[in-house]
Structure 1
Amino acid sequence: MTVPRRGRVPARVRPFLSAAVSVLVVGVLAAAGPANATDPPHRLANPYVGAQVYVNPEWVDRAVVEPGGDAVAGEPTAVWLDRIARIEGADGTMGLRAHLDAAVEQRADLVQLTLYNLPARDCGRRAPQGELSIGDLARYRAEFIDPIVEILAAPQYADLRIVAFVEPNSLPDLVVNTGNRYAATPACDEALARGTYQHGIGYALARLGALSNVYSYLDISHHAEVGWPEDSGPLTALLSQAATTAGSTVADVHGFVANTANYSVLHEEYFRVDDVINGQPVYQSKWVDWNPFIDEVPYARHLRGLLTQAGFSPDAGVVVDTSRNGWGGPNRPAGPASSGNLNSYVDGSRIDRRAAIGNWCNQRGAGLGQRPVAEPELGIDAYVWVKPPGESDGTSGSPNAGQPYEPMCDPYYLPPRGSTYDTGAMPGAPPLGEWFPAHFRQLLANAWPPL
């Protein structure tokens, strides 16, 4: 963890902050600067337009000491609030007030926060586990959401646009890890039956929605988890339920965030899902596995369409996390493969180089994706770096040590039947959220567009 800071951007980094892509200016600004403190902030259709987005000095400190890290250390990343102690600051790190004060000092317009502390969080994974148990919904409200809202409501922060990414992975877990699914877990079944996630998210949306300068984006996972129709339909229903529970309405949802902390590419450039190879459609390949989507932006637009049909605002926007989906480097294809074999064609053509599409932990070969920018393409509010590049996805633990074990973070994982499964995870990873220098250096080396 980093040493205590006063919330200032280091002097060695300031010269390139002003030129960084963090100044997300698109088109003509509606006003010359932030509103007066006595005036209510103007509600924007896209909060990223014209915004200088907060650059987290703690992430800067980590990135800038790595070889080549100066090239991206001025990029904005989200601040993760993943346990109650994070609100005031824990283990020498900055708390929420310190980050907001630093944003004011930077003269930033927008701060990105990730709320990630639901009771029985990540029920579909054995590690890392959250701090709140399934019965701690009252604590989640009183000790996590309420203090965050109280801080955000302080008058000195009224001119900041606050973008809140609300509880990544939670509702998608209730789709793919429940019932008779092969990955179902008792914890996910219980969370679904109790409505814990829906009530927690609904309460968070309602409280945040009372603040006119807060823009809440609900997580919609990514195409490789819930792109199939049998998944996207139930996910739409759960999102609608959460947005109309515990005092929330769909009006409290400004938009949706896709690919949070994941690796799915924006666009596969060298093959299409409707390609046919020697009479076999691509969607029957092992990699695609009958998914109607092979990349992230078409999926995000499709989900947004389903959600607006379900009652969300037709003006709801989508942001996509591009922090680690670049997949550059020597293994990036330069064009479609020439093979007449269906699987060889797909594997040789795809930009996403994961060993399996569902792999998510500290992936080998990954690179930084598109740098943060507003309105990069039709229907997308922004490319954003929700996951700070270089922070670990988690560590595997040991399957025989009586501690939480996450096989997807284990580069040497052997399934129960004894067959090998390549998780794609890099070895030597530290616990979730801690700095992983080897992964960061790989992200720099494989960045696309290149640095």
Structure 2
Amino acid sequence: MIGRRTGRAVRGGRGRLAAGGAAAGAALLLMTGCTSSGDGPEESRERDRGSGQAGTGGAARSAYWVNPDSNAAKAMRVHKERGEDEKAALVKKIAEQPVGAWIRPEDPEGETRKVTRAAADAGQSALLVLYNIPHRDCGQYSQGGFGTAAEYRAFVDKVAEGIGDRRATVIVEPDSIPHLLQDGCTPGKFHKERYDLLKGAVERMKEQPRTKVYLDAGNPGWTRDPGALVEPLKRAGIDQADGFSLNVSNFETTKANIAYGRRLSPMIGNKPFVIDTSRNGNGPVKGAQDEEAWCNPKGRALGEKPTTRTGEKGVDAYLWIKRAGDSDGECQGGPKAGSWFPDRALELAKNARH
């Protein structure tokens, strides 16, 4: 998994986020429908019944698979072995929740098949994240992606083959659309290619019979005017997608994301949306700039636990798409992006209000 850079805000927005990225594996939850008080994207029998998970000690069983070998689960076991019961209890708050599987480029079909099979064997669903589009990011810790459009299309096809007919939800390319609106980020000569690749990814994922797809739309502190996203989202295939995602790896409050999503949704056919709540319990850092605001910021907290029963119209789910506790990059004392950052993990859990 990789961390993500800051992104200069469009139309007066804030600096952007840090992510868990394209070099990790795990899985998580999602749902569709206009009202989250009803059924989710899976059949009604697959409704979210809680956030715990067998293997991490949770009493309830989630509709979405929790990776028993996640960084958080491994850290929890180490704390227990050392007799550090207080730390183990804190890390358990992270380890027992489903999180996103950011599919690596090395073996996308094999990795995807492993995750979706594990979820299916448990009678649950998997959440996958595509984050390998060419010319990804503006620099810093997550710059990269595939070198050519052909390589990316092959990657997407392999992920689809790895899903097969198993239940899965896919978040398509966090940041990729807002970065097209950001001056000095994605060169103009690559814009058409990116739209074509995004639309192709949405369409390919939707060929799988039990797959839900959400196209990323940034966060309310980045592109302040949601109207600026309408045409880009349409060009990128939002009409074919099940909805859009907000706040991936960021810290904007759930309340702010709900308000933003409800402004955007009517402009794009009343599509529902999901919100990454993995680290937004205390909201964004006030007054901070650039890396200080998005890269391993201090004082943050776990947000709402993953659930498809949000009680909010149009909000399909609260998700932990970012792997809480993993570093955003080598900033503010953090290790390499995607590596477990004990200090921040313990702080997130200690500050949790949910």
**1:182-331 residue pairs with structure 2 within 5 A?**
184-185=184-185, 187-192=186-191, 195-227=192-224, 229=225, 232-243=226-237, 250-267=238-255, 295-308=256-269, 314=270, 316-327=271-282
**Aligned AA for 1:371?**
K
> Cα 1:172–1:387, aligned 2, differ >3 Å: closer, same or farther?
same
* Cα distance, 1:149 vs structure 2: 1.0
Residue matched to 1:128 = 142
Alignment of 1:381 with 2:321, yes or no, is no
* Cα distance, 1:355 vs structure 2: 3.5
Residue of 114, 123, 129 corresponding to 2:129: 114
Residue matched to 1:146 = 157
Residue matched to 1:355 = 287
Residues paired across the two proteins, number: 300
* Cα distance, 1:297 vs structure 2: 1.2
* Cα distance, 1:48 vs structure 2: 6.1
Alignment of 1:171 with 2:171, yes or no, is no
CA displacement, residues 151-194 of structure 1 (integer Å, 9 cap, x when unaligned): 112xxxx3x42110000000101112x2xxxxx24x433432xx
* Cα distance, 1:58 vs structure 2: 2.5
Contact preservation (8 Å) 1:43, 1:212? no
**Secondary structure, in 3 states, of the residue corresponding to 1:221?**
coil
Residue matched to 2:52 = none
> Cα 1:106–1:64, aligned 2, differ >3 Å: closer, same or farther?
farther
> Cα 1:240–1:22, aligned 2, differ >3 Å: closer, same or farther?
closer
Alignment of 1:105 with 2:121, yes or no, is yes
Contact preservation (8 Å) 2:326, 2:337? yes
* Cα distance, 1:88 vs structure 2: 5.5
> Cα 1:379–1:29, aligned 2, differ >3 Å: closer, same or farther?
closer
Q: 1: distance between equivalents of 2:342 and 2:116?
A: 27
Report percent identity of matched pairs.
30
**Aligned AA for 1:80?**
W
Segments of 5+ residues of structure 1 without an aligned counterpart are: 2-6, 9-20, 31-41, 90-94, 179-183, 244-249, 268-294, 309-313, 328-350, 396-408, 410-426
Q: 1: distance between equivalents of 2:343 and 2:107?
A: 25
Segments of 5+ residues of structure 2 without an aligned counterpart are: 2-24, 50-61, 80-86
* Cα distance, 1:319 vs structure 2: 0.7
> Cα 1:148–1:188, aligned 2, differ >3 Å: closer, same or farther?
same
Q: 1: distance between equivalents of 2:158 and 2:336?
A: 26
**Secondary structure, in 3 states, of the residue corresponding to 2:97?**
coil
The normalised TM-score by structure 2 is 0.76
* Cα distance, 1:43 vs structure 2: 6.9
Contact preservation (8 Å) 1:372, 1:385? yes
**Aligned AA for 2:211?**
V
**Secondary structure, in 3 states, of the residue corresponding to 2:153?**
helix
* Cα distance, 1:320 vs structure 2: 0.4
**1:2-81 residue pairs with structure 2 within 5 A?**
52-59=63-70, 60-65=72-77, 67=87, 68-81=90-103
Contact preservation (8 Å) 1:145, 1:204? yes
Provide the alpha-carbon RMSD of the alignment.
3.0
* Cα distance, 1:127 vs structure 2: 2.9
**Aligned AA for 1:116?**
Y
**Aligned AA for 2:244?**
F
CA displacement, residues 417-450 of structure 1 (integer Å, 9 cap, x when unaligned): xxxxxxxxxx22122222111111111111122x
> Cα 1:126–1:111, aligned 2, differ >3 Å: closer, same or farther?
same
Residue matched to 1:84 = 105
> Cα 1:99–1:79, aligned 2, differ >3 Å: closer, same or farther?
same
The normalised TM-score by structure 1 is 0.61
- The structure with the larger Rg is 1
* Cα distance, 1:321 vs structure 2: 0.4
* Cα distance, 1:106 vs structure 2: 2.1
Residue matched to 1:11 = none
* Cα distance, 1:22 vs structure 2: 7.6
Q: 1: distance between equivalents of 2:286 and 2:202?
A: 34
